[in-house]
Amino acid sequence: MRRSVADKARKLLLVKTATSSSSSVSQHPSLPLSLSSSSWPQSAIRFLTSLNSPSPSSSSDSMTSSLTLETINPKVLKCEYAVRGEIVTLAQQLQEELKVNPGSHPFDEILYCNIGNPQSLGQQAITFFREVLALCDHPAILDKSETQGIFSADAIERAWQILDQIPGRATGAYSHSQGIKGLRDTIAAGIEARDGFPADPNDIFLTDGASPAVHMMMQLLIRSENDGILCPIPQYPLYSASIALHGGTLVPYYLDEATGWGLEISELKKQLEAAKSKGITVRALVVINPGNPTGQVLAEGNQREIVKFCKEESLVLLADEVYQENIYVPDKQFHSFKKISRTMGYGDNDISLVSFQSVSKGYYGECGKRGGYMEVTGFSPEIREQIYKVASVNLCSNISGQILASLVMSPPKVGDESYESYSAEKDGILSSLARRAMTLEDALNSLEGVTCNRAEGAMYLFPRIHLPLKAIKTAEAEKTAPDAFYCRRLLNATGIVVVPGSGFGQVPGTWHFRCTILPQEDKIPAVVSRLTDFHKGFMDEFRN
Amino acid sequence: MSAKALDYDSLNENVKKVQYAVRGELYLRASELQKEGKKIIFTNVGNPHALGQRPLTFPRQVVALCQAPFLLDDPNAGLIFPADAIARAKHYLSLTSGGLGAYSDSRGLPGIRKEVAEFIERRDGYPSDPELIFLTDGASKGVMQILNTVIRGPQDGILVPVPQYPLYSAAISLFGGSLVPYYLEETANWGLDVHNLRESVAQARSKGIIVRAMVIINPGNPTGQCLSVANLKEILRFCYQENLVLLGDEVYQQNIYQDERPFISSRKVLLDMGPPISKELQLVSFHTVSKGYWGECGQRGGYFEMTNIPPQSVDEIYKVASISLSPNVPGQIFLGLMVNPPKPGDISYEQFVRESKGILESLRKRARIMTDGFNSCRNVVCNFTEGAMYSFPQIRLPPKAIEAAKRAGKVPDVFYCLKLLEATGISTVPGSGFGQKDGVFHLRTTILPAEEDMPAIMASFKKFNDEFMEQYEDYRGYSRM
């Protein structure tokens, strides 16, 4: 059979064989293998054309193999992501040592306060969401009577609703590359209920967490190092890393620590002008609200100014709103930038706005699910098409994450069977987070040489440490940043993992660290006392 | 309307260049027709569950239990979940730090990477290091991660088979590299000729391209061929001589429909070859839960394994992975289950075997029905689908059809596929989306429609094709086959 088909094909191809003639090439130049020069690519190409080595023997040198530090994409080398950087590697090492050899360190567990990963620190998932996800993962049990005994009725009903929105009820199929249409309808309705302004399901792109959505926008925006993205300093290092990876330029604007990490329009203007004078085309402005790592919640008036600034300067507003449910102070409220701009009368023609949301944060904290979306408004249909195309290369985001993204935007309502347990769980988590934020903030502020703005929202505190000169000198002697020095000492003494401020950016000469508020409440007193004791000891050792 | 902050003119050029036909014009038209109420048979994407393939029961039970861990303590859970699923759910939860809702290590859960390494060792007969296995949100993300690491600029070339799965061309465009094509020989059953490879490399070099890596897809997508050991050895030797990283797309390794050439991994062949090549050649192999008899596309689970990649480069790849925090945890658990399915003696073993065998045997039959069906059509010729999930028949388009296509402003195979779609509801992907030699036209269909629907689909295709050929063929200067 195979032969006859091949013969048939051969006849068909006869005409074309000339173009694809496989006449053997007797001489094939071998690649120059050592591209260790940093001035790639010019040198490499020169090398290539000037050399025609017949022997491949040089490949036995491992330094010349194809995927080495010398030959990988330099943009990859350039990006940094401190949230999972050096300190975390050390922490993992200590954890191993504790496992193998309990008692080998002055603490018996590692407390990961480096990353907003609530469930890894014991936060419980919202039961209703998990019921629905379990049922969608295993729909075969939906019509079994026993199922009613162990799942709540509204979870079963919701699972049916969701399955009916999925073509063929196939949760194992690739979906539309923007995400399942029915789920996008639900999310759009959720946004509308939140903002009081209409949302279009076609504006929503579901993604594997918010991070890939941010990457996608950077990919669209950045053409070369002459394209700049305005980013807050301190910032969440996803932004600096993504900009580096896509070969653009980060244009910093500093948040004002003295005014509770305030965002001044004059600072934006100043930095924009400075970038322009260097020949940078600034394409977009990143705003993280509530702030990461800084925890501030923007005031409505401030948001209006930002929107106006973006409109005037023709910047895409990239609004990282993943902490929208994490607000801990009664005098602040979350307002989406979409709502603000619509309130100002700005429509699609006035401002290009991307709002990022995630299932990883909020009271749900479902980081491992990698669910999220971006709502994209104020772009031309052509650009929308391009976003869709890029999304389609990766086929679709994971379905479980998609379902969860729809659930967090449409949780149980008053009157639903699960409503009470749902609200109890939600309120329990949020009020506990508020208490933890307060306790930690007070503890930090009571330390010598430490000042800490309040965490109005998000999941972090970002205290400033006024390090004694002697500590700075010692750090310099050890060739580490002073704040990294402090954080490493803290880890080695207490097992508490925090991220040095230098990983987020800070005003030169100031030192900070980021600490999540996520350890379970019963562990907070221990965190406070360990931190306090360490800090006292540190200051005693290094005080001027 | 004022100038937009981001308009088409100011868009990253690399993004504009990306083409991804699997979800391109044909797919969009099919979606429109579906909205209008027409019955569409989607054979454009290897998406088995969308065409009615049922998920394997055991993995779904385990993942459902991991989603709802409170069930594990519920005495009534035993009424609907078998004990081995409950035990397995506990096992996987014990490998996480905080269940499905916590970020894992950016490379994936260490416990699952260990299970993957054990699977690879059983498969290849050589130990595998979990530290060199990274779990990803589907294989596509892994491919993109590696290409992003390799490609520095337009001077860097990646050897890609033509026809190819357009993920590769799209990702290379997106990262601003150069695709260096090598043609598979349709007349030799889509065989890979090393002479062609050398020629492609020489040509690229004459244009100043530095060829960095080579992609092989085995079993082939869209071409369905399975590479022989001898052929794999040649390829490995070639990559070694030319100092290329070999990217082995092996996502269809479970999908084999003949017995002469079972799947053999590039890694096994490499290690069989012994030093120095086995200690030096750089290889990255990809696998996924989306294909095989699993077909769990929506879960986005996959992994890549690195061989002979230096530790500093592995660290850099790890760093980039860490920016996206972690692959989705349910997808990781599916992957764990795939590499570590129920064993003889387990309660769920028999059902699992029955289900998976049923799917594979049916796919094998469908591959045959489809190939035979295409080969019975006028001006159509098709190599047998030895593996993977696709049929890639060549359609010999008469000159009049090509002219008609030109008048309609369409590429000839797009023209043909659109007509096919309108007439029959069969949604395929034109060969031009995968690359083909000039003047030769193909289409790709999956072999995934339900077995019982297959005869009707092929009959409907034949009827369309006959009418199409009748309309456009003038019989002059053509030898009938």
Closest in A28, A138, A149 to B60, CB measured? A138
Q: Which residues of B touch A348 (CB under 8 A)?
A: none
Backbone CA torsion sign across B204, B206, B211, B214: positive
* CA max distance for chain A: 89
CB-based contact (8 Å) between A142 and chain B? no
**Would you call B299 and A172 a contact, using CB atoms and an 8 Å cutoff?**
yes
Using one digit for the tens of pLDDT, what is the confidence trace for B228-271?
999 999 999 999 999 999 999 999 999 999 999 999 999 999 99
DSSP B342: -
- Considering only the beta carbons, identify the residue of A72, A84, A351 that sits closest to B106: A84
pLDDT the model gives residue A80: 81
Could you tell me if A314 lies within 8 Å of chain B, comparing CB atoms?
yes
A39 touches chain B (CB under 8 A): no
B401 near B472, Cβ under 8 Å? yes
pLDDT computed for residue A205 by the predictor? 98
- How far apart CA A248 and CA A219 sit, in angstroms, is 9
Q: Is the peptide bond before A290 cis (omega within 30 degrees of 0)?
A: yes
Question: Can you tell me the mean pLDDT for B415-438?
Answer: 94
User: Which residues does chain B have within 8 Å of residue A62's beta carbon, measured at their own beta carbons?
Assistant: 280, 310
Q: How far is B475 from chain A (nearest CA, A)?
A: 15
Please tell me if residue A368 touches chain B, with a CB cutoff of 8 Å: yes
A8, A28, A118: residue with CB nearest B201: A28
Phi first, then psi: give them for residue A19, nearest 5 degrees.
-70, -25
Cα separation, A160 vs A175, in Å, equals: 17
How would DSSP label each residue in B360-405? Answer: HHHHHHHHHHHHHHHHTSTTEE-----BTTEE--EE---HHHHHHH
Q: Are residues A127 and B70, on separate chains, in Cβ contact within 8 Å?
A: yes
Asked if A378 and B4 come within 8 Å (Cβ–Cβ), the reply is: yes
In this predicted structure, the answer to whether residue B216 has a pLDDT above a threshold of 50 is yes
Please state, in angstroms and as integers, the Cα–Cα distance from residue A350 to each residue in A220, A374, B3, following that order: 20, 19, 9
Mutate which of A400, A402, A459, A499 to test chain B, going by most B C-beta atoms within 10 A? A400
Q: What angle do CA B296, A390, A293 make, to 5 degrees?
A: 90
Contact status, residue B477 vs residue B442, Cβ threshold 8 Å? no
Question: CB A48 to CB B205 under 8 A?
Answer: yes
Tell whether the model's pLDDT for residue A9 goes beyond 70: no
Among partner residues B64, B316, B326, which is closest to A137 by beta-carbon distance? B64
| A380 touches B: beta carbon within 8 Å | yes
CA dist., res. B233 & res. B411, Å (int): 37
CA-nearest of A182, A172, A177, A175 to A409 is A182
What is the b/e burial string over A159-177, where b = at least 16 CB atoms within 10 angstroms of the residue's CB? Answer: bbebbebbbeebbbbbbbb
Task: Judge: B155–A44 Cβ closer than 8 Å, yes or no.
Answer: yes
B375-426 pLDDT tens trace: 999 999 999 999 999 999 999 999 999 999 999 999 999 999 999 999 999 9
Please tell me which of the candidates B102, B138, B195 has its beta carbon nearest to residue A368. Answer: B102
Q: Does B148 touch chain A (CB under 8 A)?
A: yes
Q: Across the interface, do B5 and A28 touch by the CB < 8 Å criterion? A: no
Q: A244 to chain B: nearest residue by CA?
A: B320
The pLDDT of residue A64 is above 50: no
What percent of chain A has pLDDT above 90? 81
Cβ atoms of A231 and A253 closer than 8 Å: yes
**Would you call B99 and A125 a contact, using CB atoms and an 8 Å cutoff?**
yes
Q: Is A26 on the interface with B (CB under 8 A)?
A: no
Q: Structure tokens of B180?
A: 């260096």
**What's the rounded Cα separation, in Å, for the pair A399 and B330?**
10
The pLDDT, as a whole number, for residue A179 is: 97
Compute the average pLDDT of residues A145-158.
95
pLDDT band at A38 (very low <50, low <70, confident <90, very high): very low
Whole-number pLDDT of residue A85: 75
Q: What is the ipTM of this complex?
A: 0.93
**pLDDT band (50, 70, 90) for residue B16:** confident
- B74-84 pLDDT, tens digit each: 988 999 999 99
Q: What φ, ψ does residue B370 adopt, rounded to 5°?
A: -70, -50
Among B residues 28-67, those touching chain A with beta carbons less than 8 Å apart: 45, 47-52, 55, 57, 60-61, 63-65, 67
> Contact A16/B437, CB-based, under 8 Å?
yes
Both tokens of B29, joined, read: 């038209």
Q: Name all domains of chain B by residue range, CATH numbers in brackets.
A: 8-39+353-472 (3.90.1150.10), 95-339 (3.40.640.10)
Secondary structure class of B248 (helix, strand, coil):
strand
**Domains assigned to chain A:** 76-121+424-542 (3.90.1150.10), 172-409 (3.40.640.10)
CB contact under 8 A, B440 and A13: yes
Interchain pair B195, A40: CB under 8 A: no
What average pLDDT does the segment B140-163 reach? Answer: 95
Q: Give the model's pLDDT for residue A83.
A: 67
Measured between alpha carbons, how far is B55 from B296 in angstroms, rounded to an integer?
7
Cβ of B406 under 8 Å from any chain A Cβ? no
pTM for this predicted structure = 0.91
Question: Considering CB atoms only, which of A16, A49, A352 is closest to B439?
Answer: A16
Q: Tell me if chain A has a CB within 8 Å of the CB of B362.
A: no
Q: What pLDDT score does A86 carry?
A: 83
Q: What is the pLDDT of residue A52?
A: 36
Kindly indicate the confidence band of residue B479, based on its pLDDT and cuts at 50, 70 and 90. very low
The lowest-confidence range among A416-420, B318-322, B330-334, B413-417 is: B318-322
Encoding tokens for residue A472?
């700075």
Number of residues assigned to chain B: 481
Per-residue pLDDT, averaged over A520-538, amounts to 95
More confident residue, A133 or B21: A133
Hey, is A253 helix, strand or coil? strand
Tell me if chain B has a CB within 8 Å of the CB of A84: yes
Residue B68 has pLDDT above 60, yes or no: yes
What are the strands, taking DSSP E only, across B102-205? Answer: 133-136, 156-162, 178-183
Q: B217 has which bridge partners?
A: B249
Dist. CA B10–CA A386, nearest whole Å? 12
